Amino acid sequence: MAKQNPIIRSKKKKAQALIDANRFAEARELYRQICRLDRLDVDAWFTLGLLNGQLGFPEDTVNCFGEAAALRPDSAEAHFNLGKALGDLGRLEEAAHAYGRALDCRPEWPEASNNLGNILQALGRLDDAVDCYERALRIRPEFAEAYANLGNVLQLQGRINKAVEIYRRALAIRPRYPKVYKALGGALANLGRLDEALACYRGAARLDPGDMGLAAAEALILERQGLSDRAYAMIKPFIDNGTENFEIADAFAALCGGVGRCDEAIVLLERNLGRGNMQRDRQQLISAHFVLGRLYDNRGEYDKAFAHYRIGNDLKPYAFDGKAFAEFISSLIGVFDADFMRRAPRAAHGSERPIFIVGMPRSGTSLVEQILASHPQVFGAGELEDMRYIAADVCGALASTLSYPACVRQLTAEACDRLAARYLERLALVSPDARYVTDKMTLNFLHLGLIALLFPRARIIHCLRAPLDTCLSCYFHDFSGYHPHTYRLEDLGFYYRNYRRLMSHWQDVLPMPMLSVSYEALVQDQEGVTREMLNFCDLEWDERCMRFYESRRAVNTLSYNQVRKPIYAGSIEHWRHYEAYLEPLKKALAES
């Protein structure tokens, strides 16, 4: 080992004494001198990087750890700290590369896998992020933070029930974890389990009484329970004190109409946008833009509304792979062709309980379910994820080497019964006694071929709405799950065309009853369409279906507020207010 320059040795000794005395700025200056004297001193670059990070010099931090990693490529610590510094600057692709290098050097490093997962999540690479968190947990099964982060990604993917399970595992490891109680509350709220969500928010507030966002979250639950006065009372002190908390502002926007203070809510949200930091507050900024879009739309200021909706969508980091989606649709059409549907095996259980309500999001599925669930013989289960999981498990259950949907051709009647039993057991859990249970997971339109084999006596209701209104409504909503096709008008048009291509195929080949329900027809003739739906389900007329808005059942989608009110026609041809912006959507819808 080469003998160190005595001047450098002396400076390091003085610098260490300064660090021990918490005099970091002076120590930083000495280490800057050391690095100039010996540019090959890896340890000096590393320590200077730590000091720069401590003192808030992010660019210098990146440079120092970059030097250390270049001088010692096998240093996992140098690459790890470089990844962290790059992530703090929002240089996410470079950060992902640096964490990947750290894991090349030290594969069994759970913190590096966890941090890489966080970066991939921010980049919208959700499946890869899940792999990273699961890798971290294989190495360290008691890693509560990795469980929490995994739960967050599962929520983004729309796998809400699985996220709830993962959050509970995190809390079993670290019971005093307010961030996870808050996230669990959000997941339960998305599932419509509002009382449980409230309990989580209140538990988090006991652990972290300074988090104003918990008051906002509780207020939104109370508002969904119809307790608007109590909800507003929770956030009013913060509003009156001039808070700039993003979550309070969002809750204020949700409640402002009832108290005549929406002008103030707009001012607060616009002020928050001006002070937000993209690296720190990205999700809050996205939410604020969508909320402002809604408030300006309500006021008839459509140009301002569209500007905010467009920015909110542009800020989302997820990309839609249209080619892969179209190929998947083609594979479904190819596998579930007319010949296969005629000769394919079917489950023999004979259950008629499921009613599958499918269609595009924002096409009236929540309204249709609310009307049916107001009938005493129907239970509205909301959006069940089970068919997606069953479809994902078909090939494994058959021990097939093929992928879905190709492996479906290997199904037997016994396998159909086994797979169907999983779903029927779930229906028994959500409602032991109802004659029918509705499942309004809109994406089940992808799985109608498999549904026909597993539930040959089930009913399907297909909800339709004018394409421009459907797509624009999707564009205007900040979905809680993973909907990358909704963030660009061109992608929405492409997705809609392929959805209609598949639905047209199902209508040709499915041997089971399917009722198409037009949103516009339902709005214009509520009784006539309601009678048609009840007849389709072999149900007696019940006047309560006309007063669906009086039902107190939990609704766990963005439409929860609409189904609390009588039907109104205000959303028909709403797209006309935004016609000047819709050429990309119109072109995508018209393409052949």
- Find out whether 357 and 368 touch, Cβ atoms under 8 Å: yes
pLDDT tier at 564, thresholds 50, 70, 90: low
Tens-digit pLDDT profile for residues 464-484: 999 999 999 999 999 876 788
Higher pLDDT, 525 or 571: 525
So what's the pLDDT on residue 342?
95
The 3-class SS string of 92-112 reads: HHHHHHHHHHHHHHCCCCHHH
Give me the mean pLDDT over the 399-424 stretch. 95
So what's the pLDDT on residue 283?
85
Give me the mean pLDDT over the 509-525 stretch. 95
Tens-digit pLDDT profile for residues 80-117: 999 999 999 989 999 999 999 999 999 999 999 999 99
Q: Where are the alpha helices (DSSP H) in 72-193?
A: 76-88, 92-105, 110-122, 126-139, 144-156, 160-173, 178-190
What are the chain's domains? 322-336+352-550+560-590 (3.40.50.300)
Give me the mean pLDDT over the 190-205 stretch. 93
Give me the mean pLDDT over the 128-146 stretch. 97
3-state secondary structure of 567: coil
- pLDDT reading at 557 higher than 90: no
Residue 303 one-letter amino acid: D
CA 364 centroid distance within chain? 20
- pLDDT reading at 558 higher than 60: no
Give me the mean pLDDT over the 535-562 stretch. 77
- pLDDT reading at 556 higher than 80: no
Q: Which residue has the tokens 């003085």?
A: 14
So what's the pLDDT on residue 553?
54
Residue 117 one-letter amino acid: G
Least confident of 136-140, 426-430, 588-592: 588-592
- pLDDT reading at 318 higher than 90: no
- pLDDT reading at 45 higher than 90: yes
Give me the mean pLDDT over the 249-257 stretch. 93
So what's the pLDDT on residue 113?
98
- pLDDT reading at 580 higher than 50: yes
So what's the pLDDT on residue 565?
61
3-state secondary structure of 118: helix
- Find out whether 48 and 35 touch, Cβ atoms under 8 Å: yes
Percent of the chain predicted with pLDDT > 90: 80
So what's the pLDDT on residue 566?
67
pLDDT tier at 7, thresholds 50, 70, 90: confident
Higher pLDDT, 451 or 550: 451
- pLDDT reading at 51 higher than 60: yes
- Find out whether 481 and 316 touch, Cβ atoms under 8 Å: no
- pLDDT reading at 189 higher than 80: yes
So what's the pLDDT on residue 278?
65
So what's the pLDDT on residue 272?
87
- pLDDT reading at 279 higher than 70: no
3-state secondary structure of 351: coil
pLDDT tier at 1, thresholds 50, 70, 90: very low
Task: List, in order, residues 6 or more apart from 444 with CB less than 8 Å away.
Answer: 356, 358, 387, 388, 451
Q: How far is CA 583 from CA 22, 330, 484, 490, 576, in A?
A: 60, 27, 20, 9, 12
Give me the mean pLDDT over the 306-312 stretch. 97
Percent of the chain predicted with pLDDT > 70: 95
pLDDT tier at 509, thresholds 50, 70, 90: very high
Backbone conformation region of residue 226, classed left if phi is above 0, alpha if psi is from -120 to 50, else beta: left
- Residues pairing with 570 in the sheet: none
- pLDDT reading at 3 higher than 80: no
3-state secondary structure of 356: strand
So what's the pLDDT on residue 483?
87
- pLDDT reading at 554 higher than 60: no
- pLDDT reading at 527 higher than 70: yes
Q: pTM for the full model?
A: 0.82
CA 282 centroid distance within chain? 14
Query: Cα torsion at 290, 293, 295, 296 (round to 10°)?
Result: 170
